[in-house]
Amino acid sequence: MTIIYAILIFCLLIFVHELGHFIVAKACGVKVNEFAIGMGPAIFKKQKGETLYAVRAFPIGGYCAMEGEDEDSEEPRAFNNQPAWQRACVLAAGSFMNLLTCVVLLIVIAFCVGQATTTIEQIGEGSPAEKAGIRSGDEIVAVDGTKIDEWDDLIEAIGYSKEDTAEITVLRNGKEEVITTQLKYDQDAKRKMIGITPVMERGVGQSVSAGFVNTGRMTVMMYDTLRQLFTGDVSVSELSGPVGIVYATNQAAKSGMLYVIYLAALLSLNLAIINMLPFPALDGGRLLFLVIRLFTGKRVSDETEGKIHFIGICLLFALMIYVTFNDVLRFIIPIF
């Protein structure tokens, strides 16, 4: 099942990415020679109009091959002969689709799990909350005088408090009561707790909002990781490739389907962000050349740009080999 989940995730993320390029290319009138999922020999292919649709043997990539994408072409509908704004839209569409996929998957998770409210559902036996007299059904409205609007506010106020006690204002039977409780540090969570769990609510509007908010938070986290890679705070040896993804899929599958969906959302956003980096062969690198050629004209030919992107692909493959080797040392060798 791990292999099946991993293949499904790979295929989904690649499909939506290349579908983004394909849809916008067709909408802009660009000639698409082939739309393929997977790499290597074709196990299924069908010519429809000017485009060959193919499913290839190895689910580790895919492509939307446009006329004039990496070479000079005299075809009027070639990619290289389209206005700059249309080419930019085609290039950005793949990452946009991966970003959208992340949002949709996180909306699904939010709806399935529900959103934590500030109303208490359960009190841990022997917990500080129970000893203080906090009850199931109480709604927490403030901590130490600070207003609490959502569960995350409560975690912040209690979990990272510098005090050993807290004054919890609860709404009980329509009246506010202030209860003083001890705070207990949890070694696993690495924060202070009082031993309560929230009532979970499900709603379409709440789930959609949570999907966008959580995507934003995940994006900030990923850009922070990239910053640490460039500053050296995080080593390149920490990166993972396909082997690491399969391992992560295995770990997620043990915890349940929602964890697999979350991993897919994380990888989809990762693909969106990485593809927009200004590096040759990536969509961000192609956008960078698009900007450069707006100022330099034809001094950088399509053929020259194609060669630079080919070098970029080689460097990316070298990086892939490196991270795969590290993944084997980290995840495969210890098994034996």
Q: How many residues does the chain have?
A: 336
Same domain? For 174 and 226 the reply is no
Residue 207 lies in a domain: no
Q: What is the mean pLDDT of residues 159-170?
A: 91
pTM, two decimals, is 0.81
Residue finishing a domain among 171, 201, 231: 201
Where helices occur in 114-203 by DSSP H, the ranges are 128-132, 151-159
Our measurement of the distance from residue 165's CA atom to the centroid of its chain's CA atoms, rounded to an integer in Å, reads: 38
For residue 205 the two structure tokens come to: 């509007």
Q: Which two tokens stand for residue 238?
A: 């920490």
Asked whether residue 57 is domain-assigned, the answer is yes
Q: What is the pLDDT of residue 219?
A: 94
Does 88 lie in the same domain as 219? yes
Mean pLDDT value of segment 98-104 = 96
- In a shared domain, residues 8 and 34: yes
Last residue of a domain, one of 166, 201, 236: 201
Is the same domain home to 132 and 280? no
* Residue 134 placed within a domain: yes
Assess if residue 101 is contained within a domain. yes
Host H or E run for residue 287: helix 283-296
Which residue from 79, 72, 74, 63 is spatially nearest to 29, judged by alpha carbons? 79
Rounded mean pLDDT, 167-183: 93
Which pLDDT value is given to residue 296?
82
> How many whole angstroms separate alpha carbon 319 and alpha carbon 177?
59
| For residue 327, pLDDT beyond 90 | no
Averaged pLDDT for residues 197-211: 90
For residue 329, give its domain range: 2-112+212-335
Give the residue from 157, 172, 201 where a domain finishes: 201
State the pLDDT confidence band at 29, using cuts at 50, 70 and 90.
very high
Residue identified by tokens 């199931």 is 136
Do residue 130 and residue 184 come from a single domain? yes
In the predicted structure, residue 335 carries a pLDDT above the cut 90? no
Render 9-24 in DSSP notation, one character per residue.
Answer: HHHHHHHHHHHHHHHH
Residues 61 and 167 in one domain: no
Q: What is the pLDDT of residue 31?
A: 95
Q: Among 142, 149, 188, 187, which residue's Cα sits nearest to residue 166? A: 142
Does residue 80 or residue 24 have the better pLDDT? 24
User: Do 82 and 171 share a domain, yes or no?
Assistant: no
The answer to which of 216-230, 236-250, 261-275 has the lowest mean pLDDT is 236-250
pLDDT for 145-156, tens place per residue? 999 998 989 999
Domain check: are 107 and 122 in the same one?
no
Task: Identify whether residues 9 and 87 lie together within a single domain.
Answer: yes
272 vs 5: which has the higher pLDDT: 272
Is the pLDDT at 161 greater than 70? The verdict is yes
> What is the percentage of the chain residues whose pLDDT exceeds 70?
99
Say how far apart CA 219 and CA 325 lie, in whole Å. Answer: 27
Q: How many domains does the chain have?
A: 2
Q: Are residues 232 and 296 in the same domain?
A: yes
Residue 151 forms part of a structural domain = yes
At residue 299, the pLDDT reads 67
Domain membership flag for residue 206: no
Here the CATH number for the domain that contains residue 156 is 2.30.42.10
Enzyme catalytic residues: 18
The answer to which of 32-36, 193-197, 234-238, 255-259 has the lowest mean pLDDT is 234-238
- 103 with 10, same domain: the answer is yes
Same domain, 140 and 263: no
Residue 260 lies in a domain: yes
Residue 273 lies in a domain: yes
For the chain, how far is it from start to end, CA to CA, in angstroms? 21
The pLDDT confidence band at residue 310, using thresholds 50, 70 and 90, is: confident
Residue whose token pair is 């956003």? 269
Reduced to 3 states (helix: H, G, I; strand: E, B; else coil), residue 174 is coil
> Which of 73-82, 123-132, 181-190 is the most confident on average?
123-132
Higher-scoring residue by pLDDT: 54, 231: 54
